[in-house]
A = this chain, B = another copy of it.
Amino acid sequence: MNAFNVSEHMQTLGLQAKAAAFLMARADAATKNIALKALARRLREAGPVLAVANQKDLERATAAGLSAPMVDRLKLMPKVIETVALGCEQLAGMADVIGEIIGMKQQPSGIRVGQMRVPIGVFGMIYESRPNVTIEAASLAIKSGNAAILRGGSEAIESNKALALLVSEALAEAGLPVEAVQLVQTTDREAVGQLIAMPEFVDVIIPRGGKGLIERISRDAKVPVIKHLDGNCHVYVDDTAEFDMALRIVDNAKTQKYSPCNAAEGLLVSASVADDFLPEIAAIFAAKGVEMRCDPVAAAILRADEALDPKARVVDAVESDWSEEYLAAVISIKVVAGVDEAIAHINRYSSHHTDAIVTRDHVHAQRFLREVDSASVMVNASTRFADGFEFGLGAEIGISTDKFHARGPVGIEGLTSLKYVVLGQGEVRT
């Protein structure tokens, strides 16, 4: 496909999305739920068709020499299909927030003023590898009354096309416009450049993928971007932390899974408990093969610990360790004077994603909650909870590390906007 055609294709998608968005915004809750349930049914019925499409992607990926984990992420296993089908049914079961009116109050002039929740309009989603994201984005678009233009990874194009066809069929079955969810039909990279530069058609871009991709999109986009950069999350163990709880939380936050953005990458320990706490957590990390990048104080405590497991890997941290998102069996460890230094360290080095304190001290807990400038701040809970499902949002289109519009896990409300509604009885301004 040459550049001219890509541009034409994107303009067509944009125009159609804009028109569909108006109809989606008007659609009633029952109709949208019919589409979601139809999509779930069609996903379950389409197993063989999806397997054929997916097989093409897998063969191409293997031939192109993609790494085994990359190929794995491409696989549309029956279990993955069942999970997204269940997700559609869960969304269908949720209350519809579109049209809700909040804060309606009468003003001195006599008018009543409130805010109505409405869809944002059209969102563009740019993602890589995992084809199930196609269904997650489509189902969230349907429930939230938005239109979506989806640009999946070129490596998953056949799977995504097959999935997008099911979405179109489900929309048609419910009497909704099939253009409400459209997949970009070309793998030409120019399509991404077009998608992020159509403010006349697209209201917001949601990229999911590597940091480089997201930085590039944020830099070049002509519309707002709901973006998620690093997840450099911390757990701070305060003076009064209960050791059992602190060990459980730090262990879970670091080792339950290494790859998620909400896994802890940094451990801060108050000096008053470091001598006792560090050897205990180091024993756990040693057993699990977690490398510890320590500041001089923490390193000295651990190296002086004669009982330390010989497998423990204690390494001297360098400045860049405090900013690093390892996504691996590595953690940075620093001894701090107390809650003040912990808050200052986190506000300086964290990626403003998720940070937790373990404490019994009410004042420290309150200060940590208020002063740590992160999308999710936690007391006595694992950072691994920072997730749309765990937060009760029902679904998640992404996690925002920005402060503007949506912050933290982004669910349906993050895809909506509040407009003012005014009800009068003929009032005029004097």
Contacts and interface: CB of A to CB of B under 8 A. Distances in A.
A211 interface: no
Nearest to A99: B370
Contact of A419 (B111, B377, B417): B377
How many copies the complex holds: the figure is 2
A424 B383 CA distance: 11
A92 B203 CA distance: 36
Contacts of A429: 252, 256, 382, 384-385, 390
Chain B CB within 10 A, most for which of A107, A251, A376, A427: A427
Interface size class of chain A, counting residues whose CB lies under 8 Å from the partner chain: 35 or more
Contact of A379 (B253, B378, B424): B424
A356 to B, nearest CB: 8
A246 B324 CA distance: 63
Interface string A398-430: 000011110111000000011111111111111
Contact of A347 (B22, B245, B402): B22
A26 B109 contact: no
A249 interface: yes
A281 interface: no
B120 A381 contact: no
A247 to B, nearest CB: 10
A204 interface: yes
Main SS of the interface on chain A?
mixed
A14 interface: no
Contacts of A405: 224, 404-405
Nearest to A262: B429
A116 interface: yes
Interface of A: 22, 25-26, 99, 105, 107, 109, 111, 113, 116, 118, 120-121, 203-204, 224, 242, 244-245, 248-249, 251-253, 256, 347, 356, 369-371, 373-382, 384-386, 390-392, 402-405, 407-409, 417-430
* 8 cross-chain pairs, A with B, having the tightest CB-CB distances, nearest first: A381-B424, A252-B428, A384-B429, A245-B426, A378-B422, A403-B417, A376-B420, A405-B405
